[in-house]
Amino acid sequence: MASIDEIIKREVNPFDLVNLKPMNFWSDKQDATLTVESIHQEAVIQIEELVDLVATDHRSRTILLIGDSGSGKSYLLGRLKRTLNSKAFFAYILCNWAESSNIWRHILRSTVDSLIQVPEGEEESQLILWLKSLSAFTKRNVKKRIFNDGIWQLLQSDRQKFINHLKNAYKQTSIYNSDIFFGVLHDLINPELYDSACEWLRGDDLNEEAMQALRVKNCIDTEDTAKNILANFGKISTDTQPIILCFENLETLPKLPDGFLDIQPLFDVNTTIHGESLKNLLVIISVVTNNWKRHIDKIQQSDRAGIHRLIQLKNITIDQAEALWAYQLQPLHQQADFQKNMPIFPLNRQALEQYYPGGKTTPRNALLLGRNEYQKYKLSLINTKKTGSTKLPPDISLLNSLTIDTKKITITIASKSDGTKTPIIPEDSERIKAEFQLLWQKEYKKSQEKITKISLISSPDLIRMLQESLITLQIQGIKLKLLNGKYASYSLSYQQPDKPEPIGIVWTEDSSMTSFFNIMNACHRIIQQNLCQPLYLIRIGGVGTAKLAGNQIYSQIFTGTKNIHIKPNLPSVHYLATYQSLMNSALSQELVIAGKIITLQKLQSLMRESEVLHKCTLLQDLGIVTKQEPDKNNVNSKQDLRPVKDFLLNLVKTQGFMGVPTLIKEAGSQFPSVKETDTQHLIELLCQERKVKIIDPKSKLEDQLIRLVTN
């Protein structure tokens, strides 16, 4: 086995692998904090007590979870989902609704999106597990309720019997639109109708064919309907597990004209949950401490009374911080011939005691300190006399000065004949840029995995995502709600300096041709009033046949005129969604890059400097950014390898130096469809461009190190 120093030199800094931004516990991988069970254990116990209480009396309750930035609120929610999923069904709700007037529809959509997820260790979704756990489909014995397979099989083939059985089982409960609701629940057990049934429950605007198959006449398109459907879930599940609604990132709420968050509607919802028979729900509202203090007076006193328990997350101890370090370093130690009684090597406890003399810190600060201390040790391995390891080139073989703090790393080498000093790793601003681009690629990959079709996002949310990107690109005169009426939130306008009229944009992915007709009517009115020039329609869905009225109006507007219909591709939505995710993290003070908390203003600056949004074809089609030229070095390949090349260079920038096999492995993890031979070719190109250099290229591949070339 290799020595621990050899492994440290070739591997990625393990603390760089920690996700420090807020996470959706259904789509993001959990990290180190979950492995140190003593962290926030008191909070876990208190929350579990309330889960048990709701499961007993079915009265809905609310927990306010507050903690400083970096205290581990997101991790705690993920830990609760992981450990208590056998006791409750979990819904993750990001507080980023486009406007407070559609808050119930946003909550219902997010709840159903979570219920269709499959918990760890299960084969079926939460939604099907919830359905099978209803008292209508179970029988009791002395110890527990057992799923009655006989009743299920009998009712599965007969929709009307299924509906009548549920109506009889819950006749004492006031179920909203019971025939329709129970009918859609039956459609969930039909594989051919499952997707459409889920889409109806989440409030999608379905096409006429899907609605006919589900035997429904209307979609969930009002706040009152969404509230009542959500209430139905609670009302018929009082004999089964509670549903836990986890609200996170209050900092992403819509803003009022005075700059404060529009927080009151959320607590209106919370009060309604307790006062209008929305049973069997546990609401957890997670918020940063200083934001809660700033907004508490904006909430009516009667609504504050709806908080049943306030849980303040405490800082962690030095022992707990040391345990976090040990967990992150464990994979390296397992590869090495190393003594097990040094679980945090190459780090030491004294660093924790020195930086945190009070004996307490946040999980995030502990991990950031571990990262910097680890990098400090890794770079010290350059001194070959100390380690007797691979000989490095003369220009980086003599360590002249090393200054480390938790915010910035500066390393300089005095070895050139002219006496100039050459940095081994980029200066702070360059490191931030490199880490930002790595983070962007990581988050973009998550967006690809999570958003598999554009219609998964509502039209108001799509418009808001577009608006946020336009603001970052410093587009002027952006105004929401170009249209009037029901579909106003599907639209916006903006001003171009060289044109007197504003440019209009309408984005609709509603499947219903009735909705499409109404939207085209609204578009026709604004064109008649000369409110914009031109009008862009963004829509990947169909526009109906020539005999439909909506299609006829569409043809008048977009055929032979200056108005343009753009069909967006899915990658464009991934770009917009990725930026929104990073923006939400910045707003909640949880976006950390190169050891620094990144503000929204700094994030916007990084976005513009990197020009990452310039690759979004939708923005190119709108004329917001210039169309991208094809990669001249990649003309014979079907795949654009520029992102892979950028990844390789940025990873070396952040590490200083690392093993070539590790670099290839990391690229393969980020870009699984790229061949290893292509990755090796890109590394060769970077060497030819004198951006990186292979140390001792004559040695075996597994022994080669690669470093950044600096001027």
Q: Given this structure, which CATH class describes domain 632-708?
A: mainly alpha
Domain boundaries, the chain: 37-312, 317-424, 431-452+571-621, 457-567, 632-708
Range among 269-283, 426-440, 482-496 with highest mean pLDDT value: 482-496
Asked whether the predicted pLDDT for residue 638 surpasses 90, the reply is no
Distances (CA, A) of 343 to 317, 318, 362, 380, 691: 17, 15, 21, 20, 36
Asked whether the predicted pLDDT for residue 243 surpasses 60, the reply is yes
Rounded CA gap, 155 and 576, in Å? 44
pLDDT of residue 633: 55
pLDDT of residue 140: 53
Question: Tens digit of pLDDT for each residue in 397-421?
Answer: 223 333 334 333 333 333 433 343 3
Residue 280 and residue 242 in contact, taking contact as beta carbons nearer than 8 Å: yes
Asked whether the predicted pLDDT for residue 122 surpasses 80, the reply is yes
Residue 536 has, within 13 A of its CA and on its CB side, a CA count of 23
Asked whether the predicted pLDDT for residue 22 surpasses 50, the reply is yes
Which of 17-31, 277-291, 311-325, 551-565 is predicted least confidently? 17-31
pLDDT of residue 337: 74
CATH superfamily of the domain spanning 37-312: P-loop containing nucleotide triphosphate hydrolases (3.40.50.300)
The residues, any chain, with a CB within 8 Å of residue 428's CB and separated by 6 or more, are 408, 409, 410, 594
Asked whether the predicted pLDDT for residue 165 surpasses 60, the reply is yes
Rounded CA gap, 183 and 160, in Å? 8
Residue 369's nearest CA partner among 424, 394, 318, 406 is: 406
pLDDT of residue 32: 46
The residues, any chain, with a CB within 8 Å of residue 572's CB and separated by 6 or more, are 616, 617, 618, 619
pLDDT of residue 199: 95
Bridging pattern class, strands 535-538 and 596-597: unpaired
pLDDT of residue 499: 82
pLDDT of residue 203: 93
Residue 179's nearest CA partner among 168, 190, 189, 195 is: 168
Copy the structure tokens of residue 512. 């219903």
Asked whether the predicted pLDDT for residue 424 surpasses 50, the reply is no
Return phi, psi of residue 379, to 5°.
-70, -25
pLDDT of residue 342: 85
The DSSP annotation for 158-208 comes to -HHHHHHHHHHHTTTS--TTHHHHHHHHHHTTSTTTHHHHHHHHTT----H
**428-450 and 570-587 helices, crossing angle to 10°:** 120
pLDDT of residue 338: 66
* Residue type (1 letter), 604: Q
Residue 481: which region, alpha, beta or left (left: phi > 0; alpha: psi -120 to 50)? left
- Does the CA dihedral 219-224-228-231 come out positive or negative? positive
Residue 114 and residue 90 in contact, taking contact as beta carbons nearer than 8 Å: yes
Copy the structure tokens of residue 60. 């809905």
pLDDT of residue 711: 64
pLDDT of residue 31: 54
Copy the structure tokens of residue 395. 């220009």
Class of residue 601 by CB neighbours under 10 A (exposed 0-12, middle 13-18, buried 19+): exposed
Question: Tens digit of pLDDT for each residue in 600-613?
Answer: 999 999 999 999 99
Asked whether the predicted pLDDT for residue 23 surpasses 90, the reply is no
Copy the structure tokens of residue 521. 């009517």
Q: Give the mean model confidence (pLDDT) for residues 629-642.
A: 66
Copy the structure tokens of residue 291. 């934001």
Residue 582 and residue 576 in contact, taking contact as beta carbons nearer than 8 Å: no
Asked whether the predicted pLDDT for residue 386 surpasses 60, the reply is no
pLDDT of residue 703: 87
Residue 148's nearest CA partner among 156, 136, 166 is: 136
pLDDT of residue 599: 94
Residue 255 and residue 480 in contact, taking contact as beta carbons nearer than 8 Å: no
H or E element, residue 550: helix 549-558
Asked whether the predicted pLDDT for residue 640 surpasses 50, the reply is yes
Rounded CA gap, 414 and 204, in Å? 64
Rounded CA gap, 679 and 671, in Å? 10
- For the chain, how are helix, strand and coil distributed in percent, rounded to 5? 50, 15, 35
**Bridge partners of residue 258, in order along the sequence:** none
Rounded CA gap, 186 and 188, in Å? 5
Q: Give the mean model confidence (pLDDT) for residues 198-209.
A: 93
Q: Give the mean model confidence (pLDDT) for residues 670-689.
A: 93
Return phi, psi of residue 419, to 5°.
80, 0
Asked whether the predicted pLDDT for residue 513 surpasses 60, the reply is yes
Asked, colleague to colleague, whether 37-312 and 457-567 share their fold, the answer is no
Q: Give the mean model confidence (pLDDT) for residues 78-84.
A: 91
Residue 284's nearest CA partner among 262, 255, 308, 253 is: 308
pLDDT of residue 398: 28
Rounded CA gap, 502 and 544, in Å? 28
Looking at the structure, give the CATH architecture of the domain made up of residues 457-567.
3-Layer(aba) Sandwich (3.40)
Copy the structure tokens of residue 237. 């599940």
Asked whether the predicted pLDDT for residue 56 surpasses 70, the reply is yes
Copy the structure tokens of residue 441. 């690629």
* Number of neighbouring beta carbons within 10 Å of residue 138: 17
pTM over 0.85: yes
* Residue type (1 letter), 326: A
Q: Give the mean model confidence (pLDDT) for residues 539-563.
A: 94
Across all residues in the chain, what is the average pLDDT?
A: 86
